[in-house]
C-alpha cells in the first residue's frame, strides 16, 4: 500500500464533557473508497468533519496529503482546497445561481478566469446530468437536483479527496437513487479518494473498498464490504446491521 493520503493518529475530541471521538486511528490510501456507518451520535460525521477542520480535534494528529492540521489558517485553507465536501443539507448558496455556485470557488480560491471556471462548471453539470438548470437559483430545484449541484460544486475545485456527510439522508426517497448514481459514477470513473458517511448499504457493497463501523466515538470494526455485511464480527455491528437491513 502506498503512502496514506489521510492519516488519523489517536484522535480524540470532546463536546464539553461528552467524548465524541475516542482514539481514532485511520489510514486512507490514495484512491481508496471508504464507507462509514454507525448509529446516530456515534461520531462518524464529526470524524470526517475533522478532516477538513470544520471541527477541531483536541488531541492526536490528523495529516491530510502530507500536511498536518493545526491552527495555522493558511494550511487549513490549503487543505480545504484539496478536499471537497458534500453535506446532508446541501449548503448551496441560495442567493447565487447554480452556475455562480459552481464558479465561486474556482474564481476566488483557485484564481481561474471566469470563462474557464464556467466551462469547467458546465462540464460537471453535464456529468451530474443537470446542465439545463445552470441559470436557476437553488431554491427552484428539487432536493435531488440540489445535491447533485452540490457534488458538482465540489468537483469544480478538482479535489483529491471527497467527503460525503450523509448525502442522501435529507432527500425524499424517490430522489436518493439519482444522487447515488452520480456518486457511483464518480467512484468508478475518477481516481478520487472518497470517504462517505451513509446508511445506503447497497451503495457500500457496490463501490466501497472498505466499510468502517463506528459506535460511541470508536471505530469498532472495519472490513471489505462483503465480509462486513455477510460476516460481522462484533455484537454491536450485528445489532446495527439487523436494525437497518429489515
Partner 1 sequence: MARISTAPDGPPSSHVGAWAWMRASLFSSPLNTLLTVLVLWLLLMAVPALFEWLFIRADFNASNAQECRESGGACWAFIVEKHRLILFGVYPYDEQWRPLLATIILIGVIVCSCMRRFWKPYLGLIWLAALTAVAILMWGGVFGLSHVENDRWGGLPLTLILATFGIAFAFPLGLLLALGRRSDMPAVKALCVVYIELIRGVPLISLLFMSSVMLPLFLPEGFSIDKLLRAQIAIILFAAAYIAETVRGGLQSIPRGQYEGAESLGLSYWQQMRKIILPQALKVVIPPLVGIFISLFKDTSLVVIIGIFDLTQAAKTAVADAAWRGFSTEAYLFIAFIYFIFCFSISRYSQSLERQLQTGYQR
The residue ranges that bind partner 1 (CB under 8 A) are 52, 54, 77-78, 80-81, 83-85, 87, 89-95, 104-105, 108-109, 137-140, 153-154, 157
Helix 114-127 vs helix 143-155: crossing angle, to nearest 10: 130
Cell of 233: 464480527
The least distance separating partner 1 from the CB of residue 82, rounded to whole angstroms, comes to 8
CA 6/CA 231 separation, integer angstroms: 27
Q: Is 154 helix (H, G, I), strand (E, B) or coil?
A: helix
The least distance separating partner 1 from the CB of residue 107, rounded to whole angstroms, comes to 10
Q: Which residue, 79 or 204, is less far from partner 1 as judged by CB?
A: 79
Q: Which residue, 49 or 236, is less far from partner 1 as judged by CB?
A: 49
Q: Which residue, 194 or 201, is less far from partner 1 as judged by CB?
A: 194
Q: Which residue, 166 or 221, is less far from partner 1 as judged by CB?
A: 166
Q: Which residue, 164 or 213, is less far from partner 1 as judged by CB?
A: 164
The least distance separating partner 1 from the CB of residue 96, rounded to whole angstroms, comes to 8
Contact status, residue 18 vs residue 58, Cβ threshold 8 Å:
no
The least distance separating partner 1 from the CB of residue 4, rounded to whole angstroms, comes to 21
3-state helix, strand and coil shares in percent for the chain, rounded to the nearest 5? 40, 25, 35
Q: Which residue, 33 or 49, is less far from partner 1 as judged by CB?
A: 49
Contact status, residue 86 vs residue 154, Cβ threshold 8 Å:
yes
Helix (H) or strand (E) holding 18: strand 18-28
Cell of 242: 439487523
CA 26/CA 6 separation, integer angstroms: 8
Closest CA to 137 of 152, 120, 149: 149
Q: Do strands 161-165 and 6-15 pair parallel, antiparallel, or not at all (unpaired)?
A: unpaired
Q: Which residue, 87 or 124, is less far from partner 1 as judged by CB?
A: 87
Cell of 56: 477541531
Q: How many residues does the chain have?
A: 246
Helix 114-127 vs helix 98-108: crossing angle, to nearest 10: 130
Amino acid at each position: 500500500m502506498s503512502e496514506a493520503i489521510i492519516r488519523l493518529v489517536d484522535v480524540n475530541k470532546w463536546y464539553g464533557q461528552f467524548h465524541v471521538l475516542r482514539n481514532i486511528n485511520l489510514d486512507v490510501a490514495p484512491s481508496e473508497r471508504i464507507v462509514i456507518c454507525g448509529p446516530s451520535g456515534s461520531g462518524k460525521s464529526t470524524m470526517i468533519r475533522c478532516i477538513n477542520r470544520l471541527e477541531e480535534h483536541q488531541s492526536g494528529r490528523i495529516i491530510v496529503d502530507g500536511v498536518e492540521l493545526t491552527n495555522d489558517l493558511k494550511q487549513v485553507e490549503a487543505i480545504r482546497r484539496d478536499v471537497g465536501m458534500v453535506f446532508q443539507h446541501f449548503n448551496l448558496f441560495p442567493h447565487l445561481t447554480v452556475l455562480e455556485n459552481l464558479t465561486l470557488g474556482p474564481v476566488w480560491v483557485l484564481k481561474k478566469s471566469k470563462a474557464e471556471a464556467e466551462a469547467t462548471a458546465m462540464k460537471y453539470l453535464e456529468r451530474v446530468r443537470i446542465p439545463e438548470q445552470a441559470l436557476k437559483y437553488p431554491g427552484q430545484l428539487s432536493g435531488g437536483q440540489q445535491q447533485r449541484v452540490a457534488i458538482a460544486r465540489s468537483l469544480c475545485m478538482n479535489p483529491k479527496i471527497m467527503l460525503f456527510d450523509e448525502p442522501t439522508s435529507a432527500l425524499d426517497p424517490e430522489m436518493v437513487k439519482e444522487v447515488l448514481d452520480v456518486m457511483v459514477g464518480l467512484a468508478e470513473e475518477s481516481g478520487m479518494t472518497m470517504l462517505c458517511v451513509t446508511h445506503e448499504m447497497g451503495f457500500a457493497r457496490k463501490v466501497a473498498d472498505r466499510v468502517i463501523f463506528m459506535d460511541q466515538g470508536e471505530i469498532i470494526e472495519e472490513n471489505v464490504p462483503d465480509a462486513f455485511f455477510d460476516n460481522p464480527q462484533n455484537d454491536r455491528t450485528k445489532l446495527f446491521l439487523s436494525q437497518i437491513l429489515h
